[in-house]
Chain A
Amino acid sequence: MTKRLLGVFSALIVVWLIVPTLVIVPMSFNSAPSFNFPPQGFSTQWYENFFTDASWLRALFSSLQVAVLTMLVATTVGVLASLGLAKLRFRGKGLMEGYFLLPLIVPGIVLAVGLYSLFLRLDLLGTLPGFVLAHTIVSMPLVITNVMASLQGLDPRLEQASASLGAGRVRTFFSITLPLIAPGVTAGALFAFVTSFDEVVLSLFIQSPSLQTLPVKIFNSVTQTNDPTVAAVAVITMLTSVVVMLIAQFATRKRKRPVA
C-alpha cells in the first residue's frame, strides 16, 4: 500500500522532471511565428531558418569546435592528473584532488567575472583558446571523477605484471591501463563534450561578436528578439547532448559501481 503510494508519487516526479522539456519539440514545428502553446499547424520553417542562416550555423560550428577541443584537452590533462593522484600516497593528495574539483562548486558567475577580467588583459575574449581554456576548467573535474572511479577498480598487480614482463611505463599505460579504464575515460570525455557544448554562463562573459557559441546565441536570441528559430535550435542541441550522453551511459554500463 505504502509502496504503491510511493510509486504514484515517484511517477509524478518523473513526469515533472521530463515532460515539461518536451514541450519545446512541438514548438519547433509551429507554423505560426509565436511561442504560444499549443502550436498552430505543422511546419519545418524554423529548421529551414536555422540551416540557412549563416549566423546560426557559425554558432553551431563554433560550439562543435570548442566542444571537441575542450574534450581533447580536458580528457588528456584529466587522465594524466587522475593517474598521478591514483599513484601518489602523499599527504596533500586529498587537497590536490579537492583543488581540481573545486570549479564544480564555485558559483559560475564568480568564475565568469574573473575570467572576463583576466581575458580582457590577456586579449583572450572571444577567442577559440579562451573558450577552450574556460570550458576545460569546468569539464576536467568530470573527467577526473570518472577516471578516478575506473582506476579504483583497477588491480595494481596487472601493471606490475606488465612491468615485470619488460614493458616500459608508456607501453604498460597504452596496452594495459588504458584499455582497462577505457569506460571511465570515454564517459569522462563525453561528459566534457556535453559540458562544453551546453555551457552558458562563462560563455556569455567571454563571448565577442566574432565568436559566440550556440547557447550564447540562444540566450541572446531569447532575451533580445522573439525569433521562434530558437525552438528548433533548442531541439537540435537537446538531441545532440542526449545522444552523446546515451553513448556515455552505454560505455559505462559494464562497470559495476554506479557513478553518481
Chain B
Amino acid sequence: MSEGSVTEAIAVAGAGRRRRAPENWRPLLLLVPAFVLVSLFFLAPLIDVFVRSVTDPQPGLQNYAWLVSTEANIAVVLRTFGTAIAVTAVCLLLAYPYAYLMTIVSDRTRNLMQLFIMMPLWTSILVRTLAWMVLLQDTGPINGLLAAWFGIGPVPLIRTTFGVALGMSQVLLPFMVLPLYSSMAKIDKRLLPAASNLGANPVTAFFTVYLPLSRPGIFSGGVTVFILGLGFYIIPALLGSSKETMISALIQQQISVFLMWGQGTALGVFLLLCTILILVVVSRVNKQGSLFPGVER
C-alpha cells in the first residue's frame, strides 16, 4: 500500500496508540459464519455422500463394482457425456459469432446484446422447460408447422435426446457467451488488419491469430457448459424419456425409488469426481483460466 502511505500514516496516528498487529487476524472472524455454514451444509453433505457410497449396505467397494459392471450404467454415463459434449459444441457454435459481434458494435448495442443474454437467466429453468414441453409435444406448434408445410409428422421431439439437448443448449448458452465475450474484448482489434497486411486471407487470419487468442474464453465457457450439462436434472426429467435416463435421474431413481443409497451415492461420487477432474485438467492446460470459469468479476 505504498500509494496510500501518507493517508495511512494519518489514519494510524488518528486511531491513537492502537497496535496494528491485531488487524491482521481480526478480518478472519468475518469469515467464520460463512465458513461454518459452507462446512456444515455443503462439505459435510458431500462427505456424507462419499461415506455412504463405501459403507451402504456394508463397507466395501461393491457399489463402485456395481457401477462399472452394469451395462445399463455404462450406457447412461456415455449418454450423459455425449449429450453434454453435443450441448457444449452447439453452444460454442452459436455463442462464438454472437460474442464476436458484441466486440464490434456500439456500446449501446452491446449493452442491449448483453441484456438479451442475461434475460433468460431471470426465468427459472422449470418455467422454460415447461414452455419447451408445450412446444415440442406431438400436438405442439412445431409438429403442427411440420405437418402443414411438409406434410410429415408427428416427429417425436419430446421424450428424445434431441429435445433434451435443445432445452439444455438454450439454458446454457449465456454461460458460453459471457466468458467468450470477456476474452474477446481483450483482443487487440488491430491484429486482424495487421495479419491481412502481412498477406493472410481472412480465414487464415482468423484461425492463426484470432482463434488462438480467444482460447481462454473457449475453455472457460466450454468447461462451464460441459460440467453444468453433466449435472442437469430437471430438463432430462421433463423433456427426456425414462428409456434415456441421464446420470442425475439415475441417482435420484436409485435413492428415492429403489432406496439403494449406496449405489445412488456411488454414482454421485462418480459425477462429482468427473466434474473435479475436468476442472483440474482444464485449469492446468489453460493457465489463465480460473477454477470458476463462469464466475468472472
The answer to whether B31 touches A105 (Cβ under 8 A) is no
Stretch at the interface among A42-50, A51-59, A157-165: A157-165
Q: Is residue A148 within 8 Å, beta carbon to beta carbon, of the partner chain?
A: yes
| CB interface residues, B 126-164, toward A, < 8 Å | 126-128, 130-135, 137, 139-141, 144
Q: Is residue A113 within 8 Å, beta carbon to beta carbon, of the partner chain?
A: yes
The number of residues on chain B lying at the interface, defined by a beta carbon within 8 Å of a beta carbon of chain A, is 96
Q: Which residue of B lies closest to A82 (CB)?
A: B30
Kindly state the separation between the CA atoms of A9 and B93 in the bound complex, as whole angstroms.
Answer: 11
Residues of A within 8 A of B101 (CB): 3, 6-7, 9-10
Q: A138 CB to closest chain B CB, in angstroms? A: 9
Q: With A17-B116, A145-B297, A161-B7 known to touch, is A260 a contact of B124 (CB < 8 Å)?
A: no
The answer to whether A20 touches B128 (Cβ under 8 A) is yes
Residues of B within 8 A of A136 (CB): 37, 41
| CB interface residues, B 1-60, toward A, < 8 Å | 1, 4, 7-8, 10-11, 13-15, 27-31, 33-35, 37-38, 41-42, 44-49, 52
Residues of A within 8 A of B82 (CB): none
Q: Is residue A80 within 8 Å, beta carbon to beta carbon, of the partner chain?
A: yes
Q: Is residue A40 within 8 Å, beta carbon to beta carbon, of the partner chain?
A: no
Kindly state the separation between the CA atoms of A218 and B7 in the bound complex, as whole angstroms.
Answer: 57
Kindly state the separation between the CA atoms of A154 and B7 in the bound complex, as whole angstroms.
Answer: 15
Residues of B within 8 A of A198 (CB): 124-126
The answer to whether A113 touches B233 (Cβ under 8 A) is no
Q: Is residue A32 within 8 Å, beta carbon to beta carbon, of the partner chain?
A: no
The answer to whether A200 touches B124 (Cβ under 8 A) is yes
Per-residue contact bits, chain A 144-188, to B (CB 8 Å; 1 contact, 0 not): 110011001000110011011110000000000000000000000
Q: Is residue B85 within 8 Å, beta carbon to beta carbon, of the partner chain?
A: no
- Most interface-central of A87, A105, A237 (chain B CB within 10 A): A105
Residues of A within 8 A of B234 (CB): 200-201, 219
Stretch at the interface among B70-78, B193-201, B208-216, B263-271: B263-271
The answer to whether B34 touches A140 (Cβ under 8 A) is yes
> How many pairs of residues, A versus B, come closer than 8 Å at their CB atoms?
273
The answer to whether B251 touches A24 (Cβ under 8 A) is no
Q: Is residue A21 within 8 Å, beta carbon to beta carbon, of the partner chain?
A: yes
Per-residue contact bits, chain B 106-128, to A (CB 8 Å; 1 contact, 0 not): 00000001111111111111111
The answer to whether A118 touches B275 (Cβ under 8 A) is no
Residues of A within 8 A of B116 (CB): 14, 17-18
Kindly state the separation between the CA atoms of A16 and B98 in the bound complex, as whole angstroms.
Answer: 13
- What residues make up the interface of A, taking CB atoms closer than 8 Å to B? 3, 6-7, 9-10, 13-14, 16-18, 20-24, 27, 35-38, 76-78, 80-81, 83-85, 87-88, 96, 98-111, 113-118, 133-134, 136-137, 140-141, 144-145, 148-149, 152, 156-157, 160-161, 163-166, 194, 197-198, 200-201, 215, 218-219, 222-223, 230-231, 234, 237-238, 241-242, 245-246, 249, 257-260
